[in-house]
Amino acid sequence: MKQIRIGLIGTGYIERCHAIAYSQVVTVFPLKAELVLDYLAEITPELAEQKAREFGFKRATGNWRDIVNDPNIDVIDICTPNFLHKEIALAAIANGKHVYSEKPLALTAADAKLMYQAAKKAGVKTLVGFNYIKNPTTQLAREIITKGEIGEVTHFYGTHNEDYLANENTPLDWHCIKEKAGLGALGDLAAHIVQMSQYLLGQEIISVIGDMQTVIQTRPNPNNLQERLAVENEDQATALVRFGNGCMGTIETSRIACGRKMGLSYVITGTKGSIIYTQERMAELKLYLHDENPARQGFKTILTGPLHPDYKNFCVSAGHGIGFNDQKTVEIRDLINGISENSTALYPDFEEGYKVSRILDAIALSCKQKRWVNVEEIE
Amino acid sequence: MKQIRIGLIGTGYIERCHAIAYSQVVTVFPLKAELVLDYLAEITPELAEQKAREFGFKRATGNWRDIVNDPNIDVIDICTPNFLHKEIALAAIANGKHVYSEKPLALTAADAKLMYQAAKKAGVKTLVGFNYIKNPTTQLAREIITKGEIGEVTHFYGTHNEDYLANENTPLDWHCIKEKAGLGALGDLAAHIVQMSQYLLGQEIISVIGDMQTVIQTRPNPNNLQERLAVENEDQATALVRFGNGCMGTIETSRIACGRKMGLSYVITGTKGSIIYTQERMAELKLYLHDENPARQGFKTILTGPLHPDYKNFCVSAGHGIGFNDQKTVEIRDLINGISENSTALYPDFEEGYKVSRILDAIALSCKQKRWVNVEEIE
Amino acid sequence: MKQIRIGLIGTGYIERCHAIAYSQVVTVFPLKAELVLDYLAEITPELAEQKAREFGFKRATGNWRDIVNDPNIDVIDICTPNFLHKEIALAAIANGKHVYSEKPLALTAADAKLMYQAAKKAGVKTLVGFNYIKNPTTQLAREIITKGEIGEVTHFYGTHNEDYLANENTPLDWHCIKEKAGLGALGDLAAHIVQMSQYLLGQEIISVIGDMQTVIQTRPNPNNLQERLAVENEDQATALVRFGNGCMGTIETSRIACGRKMGLSYVITGTKGSIIYTQERMAELKLYLHDENPARQGFKTILTGPLHPDYKNFCVSAGHGIGFNDQKTVEIRDLINGISENSTALYPDFEEGYKVSRILDAIALSCKQKRWVNVEEIE
Amino acid sequence: MKQIRIGLIGTGYIERCHAIAYSQVVTVFPLKAELVLDYLAEITPELAEQKAREFGFKRATGNWRDIVNDPNIDVIDICTPNFLHKEIALAAIANGKHVYSEKPLALTAADAKLMYQAAKKAGVKTLVGFNYIKNPTTQLAREIITKGEIGEVTHFYGTHNEDYLANENTPLDWHCIKEKAGLGALGDLAAHIVQMSQYLLGQEIISVIGDMQTVIQTRPNPNNLQERLAVENEDQATALVRFGNGCMGTIETSRIACGRKMGLSYVITGTKGSIIYTQERMAELKLYLHDENPARQGFKTILTGPLHPDYKNFCVSAGHGIGFNDQKTVEIRDLINGISENSTALYPDFEEGYKVSRILDAIALSCKQKRWVNVEEIE
């Protein structure tokens, strides 16, 4: 069995989720290649050593270039803050590595385009960590739509709202600084729901008009709490969108939405039925079908179970629940199996990551210029 | 005690709701005047006679002008299809009657303006039937916002979605014909949520950009089901809005939203908390406050009860539920008591009705011209 | 058209609900007789005069015997505290009046039996105010069960929990005193769910074993808050029951159930499906059917609407909501129409009221004797 | 670092959950010993080989005695059908192994007692797989109760209802056969909620009276579907219980509860507040507190997050969700860390498993003899 050797470059919370997913994926899914947790980079050699031990990696380094340049590594897994994605990915691609990057792919669509084109030219495979679409429940939603069960989709309403910056005294961090994060809530959160809308509908967003605001304009300097620094990107944004087939949509995002802890949600209306979902109840899908006995119509709450995509590998009983890291585990299954077979494309790849960045940039431009923007206007 | 004599001009479903509300209001609330159900007009004398008997009115006529011209009538209550509001209201005002009209006030903002100005000049009182704001639960939401409990409002998301025209084979009716209804879902449904947003926030919508669609472009001719006629106004619309204080908002409306039976809803985010409400659970308000023990935070489901506005007149126990007609009963209490006292203004009056029409027209214009429209551009 | 003249004897909160229902019923439903609000008794002549004015009754008295002895009264409506039901009802029956009594019918099954037998002998019609079964949503539940949609019922779980005495410093009132109220939570609350279980299943409870407790054993004397008086009946009770067809059930009741404001609820399991309901969401029924595509199974939330029993008289649009007093309005429609036609029996009548009392007494006895009790053991 | 070498004996679905938990626990939690997945037994050597590869175990065997007798094994993990627990556990204990067994511990309380006493005498540590109490959300519930936030608990209502045998044509399997499973729904499901009630309240159940039924009395022979065989144990059971401190409770269980997929739930009422939970929404706890502003009271929906026990090791953001296997991961963390330190007791151990069996046997006895049974009557 072929080996696939992972080089993980990362910090923080999402790195840990990747590590948990790597540790369980071999038990949860039959893989088509042998997964080798090989090399891990962190910001210092000491931290790298510690994390490597914790996460079961063989080798550690304080310099990510060691991993990118190591001939024994097959896949570079990028869990760094956004502003480093581009440099690491381009270096990895240049060395012929497959690349698995967290979202958003880059700070701008222009950067994302460079990355996608470099990967295409190099013939390496790529995957972007839009993990929420790997949830069995959202896979089920896509299945219902694809089979035409709710008819033709006529409206998409999607949100990704959280409240991690709702308190005005939460100190400034890299998410609020343009050159570290790029966009604010749009890049950090809306990237997910924008990509998910395209996944669910099988359609691309082609034009947008948005509105956005930095509600909390200054935050404490983390190094000197008495001082307040400017927040450089948007706290909240909303956009009207049109998909390629003419379907109308609305995208809302906020990082100051008090009470919304994991407010990724969608309401999808079709000519024959509707779907409602919120990530806070990630194992439930609400489905309405219009063609039954009208005296018995209503939204049905479907609990995800073994009859739905990928669930039964976690548990054979319905309604027993899967968690956040389980989504990541499905994603890594796709990564390993997709790389092990030449014929299989990974999804969502850098091209999709670029398309999402383009839409986010188009929304930001439409906010600035107060007009509808065709996504194609963004290179 | 002064008498207030009602002349009801109407047809159909909302006329019946008014009648039920008139019948119970005298028992539910202490009124400041004696309510007299005096004169009722319907489309034929026979139907008028029947309805008068059913609804407890003394006199009946097949000609609404009889009522408008009757010197013994104090209030004209207009429950006709939209296109008749203007003519009846202007005639009533000319005769010095107070006018209580169903929403939307008129087919266009221009017409609504005529009506509002005529009433102002004549010194008569007016009320528009935006009954949902009279629900104790929504009154509670306003109280929470007004008292600053959720801080400064930073975002308003509101919908009025229903599915009464979701089936493409539902025959065409007056709602789909421009000269009878004016706008489609915007006029019939969004009028409510637009007005409610202003009521809840105590702010006016000043600029808008919308998108809209007639999804089902033809419907069976009700007189010849083999033939299909064109639908002349929008099935769904969405708009980004800004309130006077800069607060961002989104308004969504649809009459083809499969499964949404009474999909009037709002999500209001403030700097210290949030409120979530749907009319389908009209006796529940979800409230999140950010400043408690963070390990015990969450949305609280408040069941409306006697400690909330106007509830205890219906029932002295919390959570026992009030119904659709009860909202109308509060509205009619406001009508009677407001008219009985010179000093009290009715709310929402024709001026507010005109402002709502202006916003709806601005949304329609912004859809057509694909640009942001200042509400003031609409006369 | 025949007249039916009402004599209302009452106090307090439920009297007011009756009054509201009387005021709207004539508009909501076509009645088969003319309803006359004739005579009202309260505890003083002054209060009676005031209430008669408020509620639209013609005459008033401070002595209920005046009404019971008045030859012009057809129906005696009893809204007094429980301990007076028997005396008033027997006097009314002796004078050939029909009797409409609030629940529980009497302080003991023995008393209820006297009342039921007297009415039967006198040939007068009787109705007990178990109004919750008149809610369109619960009528729908019965329809689903009766049609066999959930197969044979195999389990009934029902509660009536509230928290009106949850605070240990709420002063003692008549509900806590045996000779005024009889049983505690069982009589005041469980009466509803016990009766409702029989209505829904079309089966009678034949044997029971219960457990009960007075959790808060003393309460402030309302006339001297420093003093605490003994609470004489149960705060909470639970019982296992068997219906006539062998179906198992559980009944729970509490008046100290913190947070439950209108905690009347049922979970009904059948061989083919299940129903879940709570009165706090009185316009929603959850229905699960087992025989559909297993990958699309789930509980459906049905919003009550015009396709369900009695709803369309209140409103022709689904999901618009009906309230607490609307249930009472259906009950009074049944009263008037049932009395106007010789052939129609009222339901639930004093016989059903007696049966319910018998079950409650059986539960109390089983608690005391710590054994299963056949309901027939109670006379 | 000390090694703890696991010998896993199992089949089926729960074995797989253990395997997934073993694979991720080392990444999720800091362990106090090195976990070694050493030896795995299945019903054939071939299957054992395959599972060992899948689950990352070093060695495999078709004979569980090989593992029990292997001096290199520290912990025997028993995932077999119920009827084998006793024999394996006693053999393991005799060899001085620590034992980690799935629930219910044994077919009868008498057997469970033997096991518990043997372990106590041998001085080995034991753990029973009541994994649902390891869910951060249920740990939070216990924390709230223990801290007195809802006052003194006055009532416990708990269920474990599922529908895996709701279809009468589901063939008979070992769950329905007395000598393989012991009790039916009581043993398979109610074991969880009975144990959980004791965990949550910190009180033991001391007396019970139950009722039970085998609703579907025959099922197809799995080897000859035309033939129907008798179901030998109960499909559903309900019991009233009393805890040591006098608190009342109700336990319900069913394996034919149409629509309940993971119907483990509890409603806990205290003198100052209440808690509501269902495992189908395993990341939500509903909490009501009675002592706030009465006009803002309501059940709060708390989404489990990093401020609650054990959550942050899975994810640092609230509301992101944990899954079924994550509970098992917490359990295995407790196992490894508990064994690695002499001073730490495992919970819930065989003594608790025995106590639960005793309660279940007492319920079964009370059903048969139709009387209250003191749990102490069961040896």
Q: Rounded to whole angstroms, what are the CA distances from D375 to A6, A338, D379?
A: 56, 57, 8
Residue-wise over B132-157: b if at least 16 C-beta within 10 A, else e?
bbbbbbbbbbbebbeeebbbebbbbb
pLDDT in tens, B271-319: 999 999 999 999 999 999 987 799 999 999 999 999 999 999 999 999 9
* E strand residue ranges, chain C: 3-10, 34-41, 59-61, 75-79, 98-101, 126-128, 153-161, 205-213, 218-221, 224-230, 236-243, 248-254, 263-270, 273-278, 284-289, 299-303, 373-374
Determine contact, residues B342/B41, Cβ cutoff 8 Å: no
Interface touch D303/A280, C-beta < 8 Å = yes
pLDDT at A136 over 90: yes
Range list of H helices, chain A? 12-28, 45-55, 64-68, 85-94, 109-122, 136-146, 178-181, 185, 191-201, 324-340, 350-369
Distance from CA of A242 to the nearest CA of C (A): 30
Interface touch B164/C317, C-beta < 8 Å = yes
Which residues are registered as beta bridge partners of C133?
none
Q: Which residues of C touch D259 (CB under 8 A)?
A: 273-274, 288, 290, 297-299
Candidates B287, B298, B308; nearest CB to D302: B298
Whole-angstrom distance, CA of residue A169 vs CA of residue A161? 19
pLDDT band at A106 (very low <50, low <70, confident <90, very high): very high
pLDDT in tens, C86-117: 999 999 999 999 999 999 999 999 999 999 99
Residues 267-296 of B with CB under 8 A from D: 287, 294-296
- CB contacts < 8 A, B to C, total 128
Whole-angstrom distance, CA of residue B205 vs CA of residue B201? 10
What's D345's DSSP letter? P
**Mean pLDDT of the B225-248 span:** 98
Mutation site for D-interface testing, chosen from A37, A55, A132, A261 by largest number of D Cβ within 10 Å: A261
Characterise A369 by phi-psi region: left (phi > 0), alpha (psi -120 to 50), beta (else).
Answer: alpha
Rg (CA), chain A: 21
Distance from CA of A283 to the nearest CA of B (A): 19
ipTM exceeds 0.90, yes or no? yes
pLDDT, residue D204, reads 98
Candidates C299, C303, C307; nearest CB to A301: C299
Whole-angstrom distance, CA of residue C101 vs CA of residue D375? 45
Whole-angstrom distance, CA of residue A309 vs CA of residue A288? 20
Distance from CA of A112 to the nearest CA of B (A): 29
Side by side, which strands form the sheet with A34-41? A59-61, A34-41, A3-10, A75-79, A98-101, A126-128
pLDDT band at A342 (very low <50, low <70, confident <90, very high): confident
pLDDT band at B343 (very low <50, low <70, confident <90, very high): confident
Interface touch A295/C308, C-beta < 8 Å = yes
pLDDT, residue B62, reads 97
Residues 6+ apart with CB under 8 A from B343: none
pLDDT, residue D281, reads 97
Interface touch C258/D273, C-beta < 8 Å = yes
What's D245's DSSP letter? T
Whole-angstrom distance, CA of residue C156 vs CA of residue C267? 6
> Residue C346: which of C354, C356, C358, C334 has the closest Cα?
C334
Q: Tell me, yes or no, if A147 comes closer than 8 A to chain C by beta carbon.
A: no
Q: Which residues of C touch B320 (CB under 8 A)?
A: 261-262, 279, 323-324
What's C168's DSSP letter? T
pLDDT in tens, C181-232: 999 999 999 999 999 999 999 999 999 999 999 999 999 999 999 999 999 9
pLDDT band at B12 (very low <50, low <70, confident <90, very high): confident
- Cis status of the peptide bond prior to C45, with omega within 30 of 0: no
**Mean pLDDT of the D209-228 span:** 98
pLDDT band at D290 (very low <50, low <70, confident <90, very high): confident
Interface touch C295/A303, C-beta < 8 Å = no
Whole-angstrom distance, CA of residue A300 vs CA of residue A287? 5
Interface touch B261/C303, C-beta < 8 Å = yes
Neighbors of chain D by Cβ distance (3+ pairs < 8 Å): A, B, C
Distance from CA of C139 to the nearest CA of A (A): 13
pLDDT band at B345 (very low <50, low <70, confident <90, very high): confident
- Find the residue in A nearest to B211 (Cα): A240
Residue with tokens 């299963």: C372
pLDDT in tens, D309-365: 999 999 999 999 999 999 999 999 999 999 999 888 899 999 999 999 999 999 999
Taking all residues of chain D, what is their mean pLDDT, rounded to a whole number?
Answer: 97
pLDDT, residue B291, reads 73
Q: Which residues of C touch A300 (CB under 8 A)?
A: 296-301
pLDDT, residue D327, reads 97
- Per-position DSSP letters for A326-351, written without gaps between them: HHHHHHHHHHHHHHHSTTPPPSS-HH
At residue D96, what are phi and psi to the nearest 5 degrees?
Answer: 80, 20
**Mean pLDDT of the C163-180 span:** 96
Whole-angstrom distance, CA of residue D271 vs CA of residue C257? 8
pLDDT band at B1 (very low <50, low <70, confident <90, very high): confident
pLDDT in tens, C240-297: 999 999 999 999 999 999 999 999 999 999 999 999 999 999 999 999 998 789 999 9
pLDDT band at D11 (very low <50, low <70, confident <90, very high): confident
Determine contact, residues D352/D133, Cβ cutoff 8 Å: no
Residues 6+ apart with CB under 8 A from A187: A82, A104, A107, A181, A233, A360
Spacing of C-alpha B329 from chain mean position: 14
Q: Rounded to whole angstroms, what are the CA distances from C372 to A306, C206, C207, C352, C362?
A: 43, 10, 7, 22, 9
Whole-angstrom distance, CA of residue A20 vs CA of residue A131? 14
Whole-angstrom distance, CA of residue D49 vs CA of residue D63? 12
Name the amino acid, one letter, at D216: I
pLDDT, residue B34, reads 97
Q: Is D73 helix (H, G, I), strand (E, B) or coil?
A: coil
Which helix (H) or strand (E) is D337 found in, with range? helix D324-340
Whole-angstrom distance, CA of residue B327 vs CA of residue B20? 11
Mutation site for A-interface testing, chosen from C146, C149, C289, C300 by largest number of A Cβ within 10 Å: C300
Percent of chain D with pLDDT over 70: 100
Determine contact, residues C334/C347, Cβ cutoff 8 Å: yes
pLDDT at D291 over 80: no
Q: Rounded to whole angstroms, what are the CA distances from B36 to B17, B40, B80?
A: 17, 12, 21
pLDDT at A344 over 90: no
- Cα torsion B116, B121, B123, B127 to 10°: value is 0
pLDDT, residue B13, reads 86
Interface touch C301/A297, C-beta < 8 Å = no
Q: Is C238 helix (H, G, I), strand (E, B) or coil?
A: strand
Q: Tell me, yes or no, if D302 comes closer than 8 A to chain B by beta carbon.
A: yes
Structure tokens at A64: 């990510």
pLDDT in tens, B26-84: 999 999 999 999 999 999 999 999 999 999 999 999 999 999 999 999 999 999 999 99
Interface touch D301/B296, C-beta < 8 Å = no
pLDDT in tens, C112-159: 999 999 999 999 999 999 999 999 999 999 999 999 999 999 999 999
Give burial (CB, 10 Å; 0-12/13-18/19+) of D293: exposed
> Residue A107: which of A86, A93, A79, A129 has the closest Cα?
A86
pLDDT band at B131 (very low <50, low <70, confident <90, very high): very high
Distance from CA of A257 to the nearest CA of B (A): 6
Q: Rounded to whole angstroms, what are the CA distances from D30 to A38, A362, C4, C199?
A: 20, 45, 79, 58
Interface touch D27/A20, C-beta < 8 Å = yes
> Residue C15: which of B27, B26, B307 has the closest Cα?
B27
β-strands A126-128, A284-289: how paired?
Answer: unpaired
Residues 6+ apart with CB under 8 A from B100: B75, B76, B77, B78, B126, B127, B129, B335
Mutation site for A-interface testing, chosen from B205, B241, B269 by largest number of A Cβ within 10 Å: B269
At residue D248, what are phi and psi to the nearest 5 degrees?
Answer: -85, 150
Residue-wise over A53-64: b if at least 16 C-beta within 10 A, else e?
ebbebebbbeeb
pLDDT, residue A291, reads 73
Taking all residues of chain B, what is their mean pLDDT, rounded to a whole number?
Answer: 97
Candidates A295, A296, A300; nearest CB to C298: A300
β-strands C34-41, C98-101: how paired?
Answer: unpaired
- Find the residue in B nearest to D285 (Cα): B298
Whole-angstrom distance, CA of residue A265 vs CA of residue B276? 14
Distance from CA of C99 to the nearest CA of D (A): 38
Whole-angstrom distance, CA of residue D197 vs CA of residue D158? 7
pLDDT at D238 over 90: yes
Interface touch A323/D321, C-beta < 8 Å = yes
Whole-angstrom distance, CA of residue B261 vs CA of residue B258? 8
- Per-position DSSP letters for D26-39, written without gaps between them: HHHS--SSEEEEEE
Distance from CA of B263 to the nearest CA of C (A): 9
pLDDT in tens, A197-227: 999 999 999 999 999 999 999 999 999 999 9
Interface touch B24/C23, C-beta < 8 Å = yes
Q: Is D324 helix (H, G, I), strand (E, B) or coil?
A: helix
pLDDT, residue A334, reads 98
**Mean pLDDT of the B156-163 span:** 98
Structure tokens at A356: 């999402």
